[in-house]
Amino acid sequence: MRVSRIRSAVACLAAALLVVTGMVTTASGAAAAAEDDGADCPVSLPGSFPSSAKLPDPFKKIDGTRITSKSDWRCRREEIKKLAERTIYGQKPAKPASVTGTVSATNITVNVSENGRSASFSAGVRLPGGTGPFPAVFVVGGFGADTATIKASGAAVISYDPLAVGKEGTPRNNKQGAFYSIYGSSSSTGLLAAWAWGVSRIIDVIEQSGGSVLKAGALGVTGCSRYGKSAFAIGVLDQRIALTMPIESGTAGVPALRSIPTESGSQGLGNAYGEQPWFGDAFSAYTGNPAGLPVDTHELVGMVAPRGLFIMENPHIDWLGARSGSVAALAGAEVYQALGAGGNISYWSDVQDGTHCASRPEWRTPLQQNIQKFLLKTGTAAGTFRISAKKPGNLAEWRDWTTPVLTDGPGTTTTPTTPTTPAGDGCTAAVSVNQWTGGFVTTIRVTAGATPITAWTVTANLPAGAAVTSAWNAGRSGDTGTVRFTNTGSNGALAAGQSTEFGYQGTGTGTGTTAACATG
């Protein structure tokens, strides 16, 4: 009896450790992330939230303190998830009491039961050549990354019909589809969270299938336009998705919600809320007041970290809000950098063809590289940022927080330098570089010393081969070598100890840049 009790205790402890680390073991023996590895984190949401025109600090917890280690991110991520469910998506329920189904070389069936209600749906499967089991990419609604390239790269295609799970064209008080058959037609959960729930239930079935056809631990998702919104939400809300690839997702997708109203021609928040019940019902309170949101999409980008994320956008159609998309991507990339995973995020809006949801040659190689790295586990290519000059985001305009250097785990590629000018009178310049394959984004924080200043000049010394392509919140003289930046009319006057930021994008390697600040 004593031995039996010990064995039971050991088994319980092992199970608990699996929950805490966010890992489960599939029937095929492969390790896969849990759907929500922070589900055990205690989160208590306040009744109201402070308003801010700036993007919320992704590193600041609800209690006002900032995280200091990479291990803190797990529960901070859960806070962001709960905030997003409360205000943007509506609740995505956990795995129902019963999920069963089958996986074959051509089809996946799903049967769900919860609280006496049941629903069923299915998805098509197309396998690549070769011998399985195969990694797979969910293609939402038939529109996403090029399926020929996906299959040629060695991954299967899962054709997911989100409308079977949550129909469009229905009123908010009478939503239809498999999700709402289980949780009620008047559920306040929007279509994006419902569609994400549907993919999660398919993943449940893949995990249960034994892994003879598809690999549960090697799944990606892609979609374009409204289905790009869906692909993004799926990757945000299920950590078993190893690679998330939203395309031209527009409002309710990647673009920063606070930025959208400032971007000429982009789809307004109220318009998107009214077009379809994509958002949860609670978002109605924020359509005219995005500053009141306690969360924004850059934090949803961060929720995907450190998993693979490849964001593709179209700067030629104003409605899609690509400038706001680059703002969210740049800010969310700060989370990747802080977690030491800066090479796991890519953003690409620098494309020639402006056709909506076109198959673009610029995206083919990075698509292959991402599949190889995150699904096949055979590649090592680092992520890249290619921001179109037509729609460049200005991160410095949208944040008043800095990126911390988090302790434990692998190092971060965000490299703040020590100010090179005195801390007394005058000003200091601190440099932070986000390096990508072939390019970088640099943010420089200018801080006044012990006395106020009325103007500043920062001299940045770039490494050999680096070249500045665009800058924001500063005037610029030069592109390579020693580059001078001067204040604009609105950010030259700083009180003692006050700071402002400017930034620039460049090609080559920005790591190692030094800067000096002078007043006047």
CATH 3.40.50.1820 residue window(s) in the chain: 70-397
For tokens 């924020």, what's the residue? 286
Q: What is the pLDDT of residues 213-243, one digit of tens each?
A: 999 999 999 999 999 999 999 999 999 999 9
Separation CA 348–CA 210 (nearest Å):
36
Catalytic residue (choose from 356, 359, 470, 499): 356
- Residue 485's pLDDT is 95
- Residue 382's pLDDT is 86
- Residue 424's pLDDT is 43
Q: How far is CA 194 from the centre of its chain?
A: 18
Separation CA 514–CA 520 (nearest Å):
20
Catalytic residue (choose from 225, 259, 326, 432): 225
Q: Tokens standing for 381?
A: 């290519």
Separation CA 275–CA 281 (nearest Å):
13
Instruction: State residue 476 phi and psi, 5-degree precision.
Output: -135, 140
**Residue 17 DSSP one-character state:** H
Does domain 415-519 correspond to CATH entry 2.60.40.290? yes
Please list, residue by residue across 497-510, b when 16 or more beta carbons sit within 10 angstroms of its beta carbon and e when fewer do.
Answer: eebbbbbbbbbbbb
Helices and strands in the chain, H and E counts: 11, 20
CATH 2.60.40.290 residue window(s) in the chain: 415-519
298 is catalytic: no
Separation CA 322–CA 262 (nearest Å):
12
Is the separation of the CB atoms in 134 and 155 below 8 Å? yes
CATH of domain 70-397: 3.40.50.1820
54: CB partners within 8 A, 6+ apart: 258, 398, 399, 400, 401
Separation CA 143–CA 356 (nearest Å):
11
Mean pLDDT for each consecutive 10-residue tract of the chain (520 residues)?
37 37 33 82 93 97 95 97 98 97 98 96 97 96 94 97 98 97 98 98 96 95 98 98 98 98 98 98 98 98 97 98 96 92 92 94 95 95 87 88 78 38 67 77 88 94 91 87 90 87 86 91
- Residue 423's pLDDT is 37
- Residue 437's pLDDT is 65
- Residue 443's pLDDT is 83
Q: What is the pLDDT of residues 302-338, one digit of tens each?
A: 999 999 999 999 999 999 999 999 999 999 999 998 9
pTM of the model: 0.80
How many CB atoms are closer than 10 A to CB 383? 24
Separation CA 165–CA 315 (nearest Å):
31
Best CA proximity match to 153, nearest among 122, 176, 130: 130
Cα torsion 21, 27, 29, 35: sign: negative
- Residue 425's pLDDT is 60
Beta strand spans in 381-481 (E): 385-386, 427-436, 439-448, 456-461, 467-472, 475-477
